[in-house]
Each structure stands twice: as structure tokens, then as C-alpha cells.
Structure 1
Amino acid sequence: MNCMLKPVGEQTIVITGATSGIGLVTARKAARRGAKLVLFARNEDALNTLCEEIRQHGGLAVPVAGDVGNVEDLQRAAAQAADTYGGFDTWVNNAGVSIFGTAAAVPLEDQRRLFDTNYWGVVHGSLVAADHFRRKRDFHGGAIINMGSEASDAPVPLQSAYVASKHAVKGFTDSLRLEMESDRLPVSITLIKPAAIDTMFVMHAKNYMNVEAKLPPPIYDPDLVADAILFAAAHPRRTLFVGGAAKFTSASAYHAPRLFDRVAATLFSRGQRTVRPARPRDDNALYESRHALHEREGMDGPVLRGCAYNAVVQRPKVAGAVALGAAALVFAALARSRRTST
């Protein structure tokens, strides 16, 4: 299956969760690179404002208001893309939300609502996008990009519903990829796995702790995630970590699970609590939009605006050079070993 993806500037891209955080940064970056956009979120006023901003800067964007938990709303987004641009090339399932608190403290109703957004939103969007690609004639390549997390691979206390949803997103994404390959459809399906990112994540989350929540460091800038998304839109990739910490967390949980559990149980529990009293519990975006058109929260502590890991993996020539260099070092070491033994 040869998946030929267009450059971002020649694409039409659908982005869910487009009015804040990663989705907002991605929409603005994609527009600057010339992509035509269909932007989806719950807040219609914020969507209209964002699309007008993009148009004033010479870009093309149309809004579709709805909830990713309703598949009919996402079908409207696909129909809008078809009516306005003749279809789309990349679909980005970005919408997401979290809940802070112990598993026992978070009501099941809230956990189900989180799954409506984080898991079912990805399922709905992926199936709508896949159906669109199946129907296209003379089709050479499209992309579905799903927002996972380092929590797709590793447990995190005090966010059990969020972690479970991201594990589910990984399982669904990987299985859908196999089905696309079995059907020989040229569709690249990428799972993005960011580390902690300076977005409105904490402000949007519902909090059942008695203190304000925070994300444990290191914290990365959302520009890095947007760059990874747009890279995946033009380069078929199975998985992209964002932030070296995400790769390290995933590898640690896989290779040393018991040690990881012991460390994470302490560090992550402390690292997600501040000393400030919690905001009113109804100040969250679990059930309705809040704090729209904000890219960043301005979290405590330094925010990393660069990442050597991503600089390598998202530049194929650099990655190839690094691989060749590593291979050369291995061969040199083997040669020295043979000479020594003789």
C-alpha cells in the first residue's frame, strides 16, 4: 500500500477541538502554511471568530459547531468539507478533556462524559474520515491523526478516566490501522503521544481534589505538538511522541513496569497537586465549552519550546544521518573487538 500524502499547503484539513490549546495552535499554523481548513468545536462564536481571523490573514477556513460525542455532528463536518472544498485530505481528532481526582471520587457519570469526548469522539471522527476515504475516486492517500498521550502507554494516578480513555484510543487507532492495511486503502493513521503540554488542559479539567491541579514537569510548548500533527499530515507515521519525556515515560513503563509504578505512585501524585485551594468545581469544560481561543494556560515553571528528540524524528534526513552514524559506531566497535580477540 503506497500512501502518497500531499504537502500541507495543498491539503484540506479537518481539526476537532479547534478553538483552544493544541487544536488552535495547529489551525493557525496550518492556515499560515496554506491549508484549507474545516474547524470543529462546541463554541460557535469562538469558531466564527477564529475563521474570520484566518480569512483576514489570507487563509481559508469554515466553521462547524458540534460535539464530537455525536457522530451526526462530525458527519456534518465531513459534508461541509465536501461542499466547500470537494472533500478533505487529513482528519485530526484532537478534542479532549480530563478529570482530576481518585478513581473512587469521580462520579461514573463524569467518567462516561469524558469517554464520550476522548474515546468516542476519536471513534466517530475516525469512522467518518475512513468512510470518506473509501468513497473517494482516484484516491492516492489520506491521513487520520488521533490524539493520544504518554498516558496511552503509562498509568497516571489522579487521572484514571483520562488514562483509560487514552489507552482505549491507542487500541482503537492501532486496530483501525490494521483494517485499513488489510483493505489496502492508502490511509496513514498516526497516534500522537505528547508529554505534558502548556495548554488549557488543567483549566478545562474537572477537579475533585481539594487543591488546584497541575501537570508534573517537564512541560512542553503546544507548538511542538502542532508541528508533529502537520508533519504526520504529510509523512506517513505510525506513532509520534512529542517531547523526549513522553518517549522516556513510555519506555520506562514498558521495560520496568514495577519500578515505574513505585516511582509514579509518589512523584505523579505529588506532582499533580498545588497548595492553592481548588477553583469552583463547575468551572470546567467537561460538559460545555470554556476559555475558548486561548492557546496556552501559562503553567507554573519553565515551558520547553524545543525538543532534540522531535527535531531528529521529524526530519527524515537528520534521522537517517543519525541512524547511519550509530551503525558506523557499532561496526567500528565490532571491528575493534575482532582485532583485539585475534
Structure 2
Amino acid sequence: MKLKDFKPKPLNQQTIVITGATSGIGLATAEMAAKRGARVALSSRNTDDLEKICRRLQEQGYNVIGVKADVRRIEELKELCEQTKMAFGSIDTWINNAGGSIYGPLLEIPEREERELFEMNFWGVRHGCHVAVEALKENGGVLINLGSEVSLRSIPLQGMYSASKHAVKAYTDALRMELEHDEIPIQVCLVRPTAIDTPFPDHAINHLKSGEPSLPDPVYHPDYAAEAILKCCEKPERDVWVGAPSKIRAIMEFMAPEIADKMMEKSAFKDQSQGTSVPHSAENEGLFAAPVQEGEIQGHHKKKIKATDEMKKPHISDPRPSHH
């Protein structure tokens, strides 16, 4: 099969692999895909919560499996691929979602932490792409990488996160061109969410001088990102911006980068250090180790979350009330 002949299956006929699937965007996407009839392989480093989530979904009749995998280790992603094929026969869409962040001034972050962030955010995507292409190239498929609004427009106090997402964009764009040149039937998408209300700040390493990590407003419900991702599964797009600020900031970066700098300097420092304190029970959890407790789709953003009425309803595996 050549690329021009490939047409994605309807979602309810697909097998989908999602990394980082035990919280936030990954979990929202997994739940939404399962509810719409897809076969879903959820992956995470957090064995206990992964098992709990999958058991809950299976008990409600959804066709899911959970496979423990650390995206920093390509052999574990190969095992994820094999177990998915054993359970469901084939793979149609692979979503590289896992990632983390570090908050703080660039010159005050230890090199060890910066390297570990790249191991997860960039090398994890690189490893996932290698495994996914091998799995998808014969029968065709969709490869979706999670970038960010900072894939093009950096943000202060998350400089290394911005750098890693710049790298993801560059890698994704180059891979897409190479696959197209060789007529390999894989559609490659980059999804770029704006600030999304997930546990992302809770799991980040904090080097801020004062305050807890938070997200810059406006902040969107995770289902905005999940909807965009699942749309790509059926109708792949090269670049997908989730939330108006993501595209606006990309335009600003192209049209008026110095003005964009000044706007960031005025608001981003304060906006990113007003979070709710969430106690961590493991050193550097979320980067060097899996978060000790996952299973939440939404985070703890204190201000209004942009969401539709449907999105305000609790998820099937999220018993907490919505943060609205």
C-alpha cells in the first residue's frame, strides 16, 4: 500500500495505543476512544493506577488493556506494541502523549533534570515513532505526536519544556517528509494544545522562587485536546492547534516575536506561580519516577476552565467532581 491509497478506519474499528494514559490528556483520550468503540491500549509507568483504570473501564464493557511501559526505554515500547497486537491483532493509530515539565529559571535548573526531561519528552517520542512506524508501515496507520503551543513560541520558566517541544516539532516534521518521500502509508500529525487543566503542574519539578506551578490563562478542559486527537485518528491533519491561544501565539511568533516576548514577560512569570500546593511523596516524581498517584483527568487550576456543558460532566473513570 502507498500513502495515497491509505484511508483511516472509522474510530470504532480502530486499535489505538496511547502513552502516558493514566492522567490528563492521555486518560481523557483513552476514555473517549473506548466510549466510542475503539480498542485501546493504555500505557504508563504507574502500574497500580494503570491496572485500576483498565479494570474500571473493562467492568463497564470497554475493550481496553493496560501495558506498563517507560517511554524512555525503547524495548518497553516494543513490548507495548507486541502485547497490543497479541490482544487486538493489529494497530491503527499510535499516540505519543507521555511527557513532563520543570518549572524555574533556566540557569538554576540542574543539568541532570534537564537531560531527564529530554529523555522523556523528546527521546520518548523518538522511540515511540520508531516502534509505531514499524508496526504501521505495512497496512497503514496514523501517528500522532503531542506537541504544545510552546512547540513554536517558548515560555519563560518552562524553557526546557519549550525546548523539548520544539525538538518534537522538528522531529515530527522531518519524519513526515521522509515517510511521504518513501510513500510509506502513515499519516503523521502534530497536536499542539494550549494550557489544559490536567495534573501537569502537579507532576512537574518545581524550582520557582515562590509559589507552586500553575498554568497561564486561559485554560481549557482536557476533552478539547482529546477531541482533536481522536479527530486526527479518522481525518489526519498535519498540524492541529487546540485552543485559540495556541494558534494566536504561533502567529505572533511569526509576525511580531519581540511583541510576543514583551507580552510573555509581563504575564507569564506571575501566571505560572499561582498554583495550589499538591504534596509529593516521592523525590522528583513525574520525571525520574512515576507519580505515586494518578487517575485524574483534570488538575487543580483555580480559575475558570473553558468547557462545554458536556465536558463538565465527570468522566467514567474520574469520580471527583469537576473543578468548575
* Common topology (TM > 0.5): yes
Given the superposition, is the C-alpha separation of residues 306 and 258 from structure 1 closer, same or farther in structure 2, using an over 3 Å criterion?
Answer: farther
**Hey, what's the Cα distance between the residues in 2 that align with 1:24 and 1:208?**
27
Match of 1:106 in 2: 109
Q: Which residue of structure 1 aligns with residue 12 of structure 2?
A: 9
DSSP 3-state at the match of 2:108: coil
Task: Report the alpha carbon displacement of residue 275 of structure 1 after superposing the two structures with TM.
Answer: 8.2
Tell me which amino acid in the other structure corresponds to 2:18: I
Which residue of structure 2 lines up, in the alignment, with residue 218 of structure 1? 218
The two structures, once aligned, show a CA RMSD in angstroms of 1.7
Number of matched pairs = 303
2:88 is aligned with 1:89: no
The higher radius of gyration belongs to: 1
Shift of 1:276: 7.2
Secondary structure of the residue aligned to 1:230 is helix
Match of 2:255 in 1: 255
Which residue does the alignment assign to 1:155? 154
Distance 2:182 2:278 in 1: 50
Aligned partners of 1:276 and 1:27: how far apart in 2? 27
Distance 1:63 1:209 in 2: 35
Corresponding residue to 1:61 among 41, 60, 64 = 64
Deviation at 1:266, TM superposition (A): 2.1
Task: Compute the displacement of 1:66 (Å).
Answer: 1.9
Q: In the alignment, residue 170 of structure 1 is paired with which amino acid?
A: K
User: For each residue in 1:73-95, what CA deviation from the matched residue of structure 2 results, as whole angstroms up to 9, or x when unmatched?
Assistant: 00001111121111200000000
Equivalent AA in structure 1 for residue 122 of structure 2: Y
Tell me the secondary structure at the aligned position of residue 197 of structure 1. Answer: coil
Checking the alignment, whether the CA contact within 8 Å between 1:209 and 1:278 is kept in structure 2 is: no
Q: Secondary structure at the match of 1:38?
A: strand
> Counterpart of 1:18?
21
2:203 matched residue in structure 1: 204
The alignment status of 1:303 with 2:305, answered yes or no, reads yes
Partner of 2:100: helix, strand, or coil? coil
Partner of 1:233: 233
Scaled by the length of structure 1, the TM-score of the pair is: 0.85
Aligned to 2:128: 125
Deviation at 1:282, TM superposition (A): 3.1
- Structure 2 alignment gaps of length 5 or more: 310-324
Greater share of residues in helix: 1
2:93 and 2:144 in contact (8 A); partners too: yes
Q: Is the 8 A contact 2:100 2:200 kept in 1?
A: yes
| 2:276–2:300 CA contact under 8 A, matched in 1 | no
- Listed one character per residue, the Cα deviations across residues 74-129 of structure 1 (whole Å, up to 9, x for unaligned) are 00011111211112000000001000000011101001111111101111001100
- Give the Cα separation in 2 of the matches to 1:122 and 1:163: 15
Note the 1:136-151 alignment, pairs <5 A: 136=138, 139=139, 141-151=140-150
TM-score of the two chains, using structure 2 as the length reference: 0.90
Relative distance call for 1:276 and 1:177 in structure 2 (3 A) is: closer
Distance 2:245 2:174 in 1: 26
